[in-house]
Amino acid sequence: MKPDTLQSYGSTTRFLHWTMAACYLFMFATAIAWNIDENLKFLINPHKAVGILLLILSVWRVGRGIRQRKNRPTNTAVTKLGHWAMYALMLAVPAAGIARQIGNGGEIHGT
């Protein structure tokens, strides 16, 4: 397994990146689908499951980012700030979805 280096991102970092990208694509697609067609509301449960997976992957990715910060390719301050903003969103968005579900008693009331 290739580790992160100052020249490139390693295997685990790339795995997390692309797995999460596929999950986000699924999340957007399912949300759009059931908002276009009410008959596709059955996609809500897979959407929730992938959302929980994304939260777990996000925690892993943020933890890894902190642990590997000295072994990452050199970036500008703006790039680093952008990465940390994305990390914050990767944690905040699923947490907001969970909070919404708790507040709604587990019911979906419009999206």
Furthest-apart CA atoms within the chain: distance in Å: 49
pLDDT of residue 101: 84
- pLDDT higher than threshold 80 for residue 110: no
Q: What is the pLDDT of residues 8-61, one digit of tens each?
A: 888 999 999 999 999 999 999 999 999 999 999 999 999 999 999 999 999 999
Q: What is the pLDDT of residues 61-89, one digit of tens each?
A: 989 888 888 887 777 889 889 988 988 99
Q: Please indicate, yes or no, whether the overall pTM of this predicted structure exceeds 0.75.
A: yes
Rounded Cα gap, residues 100 and 81, in angstroms:
28
pLDDT of residue 80: 83
Residues 6+ apart with CB under 8 A from 71: 3, 4, 5, 6
- pLDDT higher than threshold 60 for residue 108: no
